[in-house]
Each structure stands twice: as structure tokens, then as C-alpha cells.
Structure 1
Amino acid sequence: MDGWRLGVDGGGSRCRFALQTPQERHSVVLGPANVTSDFDGAVSTLRAGLAKLAALARVDSRALVQVPAHLGLAGVMDAHDSDRVRDALALPGAAVTDDRPPAVRGALGAGDGFVAGLGTGSYFARQRDGQIRLAGGWGSRLGDEASGFWMARQALTATLAVVDGLADESELTATLLLRFHGSPRRIVRFAAEMPPGELAALAPLVIEAAMEGDPVGRDVLTRGAAHISKTLRLLGHGVGDPVCLTGGVATAYARFLPADLAVALVEPRASALEGALELAGRGAAPRPGV
């Protein structure tokens, strides 16, 4: 199957698949694929997506074992996770990493630069001379600062501070309290029981409020931007180094960044799915901490 490549971009909210052949490309989009929070669910999603791709390409799904593949999946932490996924999918030759390397490759191509991935979760990366240095991406309990999940959590925390009489009410906190029928108990249960993607769905409310001048919304985005700036500098960002902001809440931060970072912003070259296709057949990309 010369000229065939398979790429997968699996995140906490959706999983995208692409099969490139010499003649055409087939694409499929399904639900989340996080191998840490729900391994069985992720594998089920992956199997369904691969089966749909094979059907679109009019080949037996078992033929995909011959196709160079790169699967970038949320929740892959080490080689053990990669091996589990390969075994479960019967794709022994596939490169399986977390979802950050394909996103970096897609955003920067082979060039030098920095990436802040700001979706349901968050991560940061530097690519220099073809080598990727990763930071963050440790999940909602221990990280994901400046992400959509983090935005929502900070706004809900601020709302509870208003309930306690420790902070002034804003339009945003009033809206959030009304959304939960005025019940702080419902806010606490929602935050404790819902997956990160459900909390991240509140991020557009925070962003809209910030853009309209709401003090709580602006505080959340200002603190998120400070974390972005600090992390990129620790990774070695210097004057003139390009920076890509990617992910569903990324564009909201542009106006809150320091001037030297704001002028360094460039549009991502391509998507994480394109990055996965580029990496297919080239071996595994760096894992966390590399």
C-alpha cells in the first residue's frame, strides 16, 4: 500500500481520523479518545473510526495494519500506554504518542517555534532543529492551566466567593449562579462529577464576559495569559521567535499577552491531524518530559 498514510488526532472532546491514499483522502470525526480517563471508551472510538475509514477506502479493515500510522491520543503518558493501544487495535507498527507532537508538527511544520495548545486542556512546546520539547498536558487535576477547563473552574470558584460574601458580584458570576438555579451545591456537584469537557463548555461564557469588560472574566484571562507568557519564556522563547496559539480558547488570549509575545503570534500552518499524517511512518515523536 505504497503512498498510504494514516493519522489520528484524539483529544478529550473529539477524535479525528484521516486516511491518505495516492488518489484521495478519507476523514472521520467521532467522540473523545482519552486513554487515561477512559481506556475502553477510547479504544472503542478508535476501532469505530478505523472501521469507517476502511469502509470509505473500500478495503478490509485488517489491511490498515500495512499502512504507516501515527496516532496522537490524549492520555498517553508512556511506552506502556502506547503498547496497550497498539495491542488493542492490532496495529503493531503504528507510532502511538500523546496528542501534543502531532499538534506541534501541524502548527509549525519542520520550522523552529513555540506552541501553546489551549483547548479543553493545555500544553506548551518548543520545536528547535526538528526536536520537540514538551511541557504541561498533565490533566485537569494537576495542570491544564489557561485551558478552557481552567477558565471555567476559575469562574466557578469566583462565583462561590461571591456566594460567601468574599468578592463583589459581576455579570459573569450572576450568570453562572443563575445557570445553576442559585444553588452553590449544584455548582460543587457539577465541578466534581462532570468530565473536563463539560466544564470547558462554560469557557465561551468567560471569554465573552472578559471581552465585554467583566472584571471576573478579565481577571481569569489575565491570569491565564500570565501563565502562558511565563511558560513560554521558561521554554526559551526569545524576541522574534514565532508563537502559535492553538485550540478552542486560544484566540481569546491574544489581547491579554505582553506586547513582545503578541507581535510574535503566527497562524498555525496546519492542524494536528495534518501533523499526524506528516509524522506517519517517521517513528514516534517525543513523549512527555523529553
Structure 2
Amino acid sequence: MSWVLGVDSGGSGLRFALGSTAPDGTAGVTTVAATASAEPLRTGPSGIDAGQLLARLLPAVDTLLAQAGVNTNTDMEAGSGPGVLSAVAIGAAGMATLGDGLRAELPAALAHSLGVRRLVLAADAVTAYAGALGQRPGAVVAAGTGMIALGTDLTGWRRADGWGHLLGDCGGGAWIGRAGLEAAMRAHDGRRGGSPALLSRMEEVFGPAPELPGLLYPRTDRPAVLASFAPEVARCAVGDPIAAGIVSTAARHIAEAAAAVCPPSGACEVALTGGLFGLGDPLLVPLRAELAGQLPHATTVSAAADPLGGALLIAGALAGDTLRLPHDARLLNVLTEQDG
């Protein structure tokens, strides 16, 4: 048995899971202990703050090993102290575009502090994929505040959207919330396309319409604030045609992203993962219709696990030399002892 660590870093903070796996990796990974840190990681000139991640990760490893009953003092020579971790997989939001600092600093830092010689730095969409579908071909749509689709035929990755709330994330929570707030403001102004129902809900949530810009624009967490209104749009969609149109358009955008990344040949499994799909039937009913129309050869399946479970699966596969997901410099960066 060997120990592996999975890390999931996103807008709601960090989550860590310790797993055990057979040395050959054939039995999969069993989750032994988990812990979390609520504060998200900072980003700076070199991207995601590697020092802050390391400062959170090291105490978390100590906590998890203690929960697992590993005595790092007495078991060190047996391989259960520093160096106990056979592999670590870190999935982080923004890894593809903001991960330069992590890629430059973490391998040496983890090798020095924990004796880790096998490390994967992955985009959170990749760990979402691994959690949802494991290591088989297909496509995953990960949707929460944002939205990204990722697919693979196991020879390379295909990505669609995930470009943030200003350039994309079409159909995600921030997109739905922003469209709903725009429809509310149109109703306040008396313009076409306005929704009195959404205006009423907006004012109940945020206060008088003229005050909304002053409340929203100074916020540094604007995407999350916009996404917080998405459930209100979904609730109004049951009886309001404007809200229903917004959610139906979101479903079309999500299906278009899935269609863009599905492997082009043969049948394709599509998994949906992320908090956005908790909106339920107002989103899922039009989404199923869109997927059936745009991807008639695809089958929608339930995600087997979440992104933290995906990170743990990747770490276990790396430890057992069974990692089949395609390596990629930004999406799935694999660093081993042999890399120097």
C-alpha cells in the first residue's frame, strides 16, 4: 500500500484528500481522510500564489497523515514519514493560464519538504474530467460560476470556453445571473426584453435597481455575485418567458461547448458536473433537448466523483504507472523524479 494526495483548488477554497492505493495501482484509490481550507488562493504577477498553496498544503498533509494513524517520526525509515507520499495531484482553477508560478516552484518545494517525486499539476477541468469519467474517452462539462468543456480520445485534449466571465463562460452561473439582471434593468427602464418578475426578485435580493451598479462594479468577486442570481433566474423560468429564454439559451451554449470537445468518431459519453446543474429541470430539460439535437450519438452519464476525487484518481494512477490521460504542458503537467 502507498499513500497519495489529491488537492482541489477553486473559488471556494482548497480541499485535500489522502488516499491509499496498491503499489501496482490496479485496485484504484481508497479515500482515507480529507480536510479543507475555506480561503481561496491569491493570484499575483506570476499567477496562482505557489507560496500560499505550499503554506496550506504542508499542515494539511500533517493533519491527514495523523488522521490516517501514520506516525511520521517512528515510521520514517519505513517510508511513512517525509517521503511517504508516492504521488500528489493538484487541480487548480486557472492552472492553464495562471499556473506558471506553480509549475516553476512546486516540484522542487514538494520534493524538499515532503520527498514527493511524482507530481501532477492539472487544470481543475482535468480533475473534474477524471472524477466524472475516470480514464476513458468522452467529454465533461464543468459548470458553476463559470463553464468549461473538456474532451479527450486519450491522445490529446479538446477544450471549449472557460475563458472567464468577460470573454466567455457562456451558459455558466455568472452568464445566467448577468443576463437575468440585465432583463431586470430593462424592465426597470421600460425597455423591450425586460422581465418584471426578475426585476422584483432582483430588488428583493440586492435592493433598489438604481443602486445595483454601485453595489456590483466595485466588487472584486463580481462573477460570484452575478452567479448568485442564477437560481433566481431558474426559479422565475417556470412562469416567466424572459427568464425561460435566458435559461434555454444557456442550455444551448453548454451543449455547443460539449459538441465542440466530444471525440469526433464513435459514441461519446458526456458527463455534467458542477453546482450549476443543481438548478434542476429549468436548466436540465432544455439542456437534454439541446444535447440530443447537437450530439445525437452521445450518451449523458452521471459524474462518478467530484474534482477532488478526480485529483486523487490521477495521483493513484501516477503512483501505479497507470496514468492514461494525455499529458499536456498546461492542462495535465506530469513531473516525476526522472524529470530532474
TM-score category of the 2 structures, normalised to the smaller one? 0.7 to 0.9
Cα distance in 2 for partners of 1:80, 1:189 equals: 33
Residue of 157, 177, 190 corresponding to 2:182: 157
Greater CA drift, 48-57 or 277-286: 277-286
Q: Which has the larger radius of gyration?
A: 2
Partner of 1:26: 33
| Structure-2 change in CA distance of 1:146 and 1:85 (3 Å) | farther
| TM-score, normalised by the number of residues in structure 2 | 0.72
Instruction: Find out whether 1:267 has 2:270 as its counterpart.
Output: no
**Matches for 1:194-213 after TM superposition, within 5 Å:** 194-195=220-221, 196-210=223-237, 212-213=238-239
Secondary structure class of the residue paired with 2:236: helix
Cα distance in 2 for partners of 1:20, 1:227 equals: 36
Length, aligned pairs only: 287
Deviation of the 1:217 alpha carbon = 2.1
Cα distance in 1 for partners of 2:32, 2:225 equals: 32
Could you tell me the percent identity over the aligned residues? 29
Secondary structure class of the residue paired with 2:12: coil
| Structure-2 change in CA distance of 1:240 and 1:173 (3 Å) | farther
Deviation of the 1:205 alpha carbon = 1.5
Higher strand share: 2
| Structure 2 alignment gaps of length 5 or more | 22-29, 67-71, 74-80, 112-116, 293-297, 334-340
**Matches for 1:2-21 after TM superposition, within 5 Å:** 3-21=2-20
C-alpha contact 2:17 2:35 (8 A) present in aligned 1: yes
Partner of 2:276: 249
| Structure 1 alignment gaps of length 5 or more | none
Secondary structure class of the residue paired with 2:247: helix
Deviation of the 1:5 alpha carbon = 0.6
**Matches for 1:1-290 after TM superposition, within 5 Å:** 3-21=2-20, 25-34=32-41, 36=43, 44=52, 47-58=55-66, 59=72, 63=82, 66-78=85-97, 80-84=100-104, 86=106, 90-92=109-111, 93=117, 94-129=119-154, 131-167=156-192, 168-195=194-221, 196-210=223-237, 212-236=238-262, 240-251=267-278, 252=280, 253-257=283-287, 259=289, 261-262=291-292, 264-280=299-315, 281=318, 282=323, 285-286=327-328, 287=330
Give the partner amino acid of 2:123: D
Deviation of the 1:224 alpha carbon = 0.7
Q: CA RMSD in A?
A: 3.3
| TM-score, normalised by the number of residues in structure 1 | 0.84
Deviation of the 1:51 alpha carbon = 0.9
Give the partner amino acid of 2:272: L
| Structure-2 change in CA distance of 1:26 and 1:224 (3 Å) | same
Secondary structure class of the residue paired with 1:115: strand
Secondary structure class of the residue paired with 2:256: helix
Give the partner amino acid of 1:198: V
C-alpha contact 1:172 1:209 (8 A) present in aligned 2: yes
Give the partner amino acid of 2:59: A
C-alpha contact 2:19 2:33 (8 A) present in aligned 1: yes
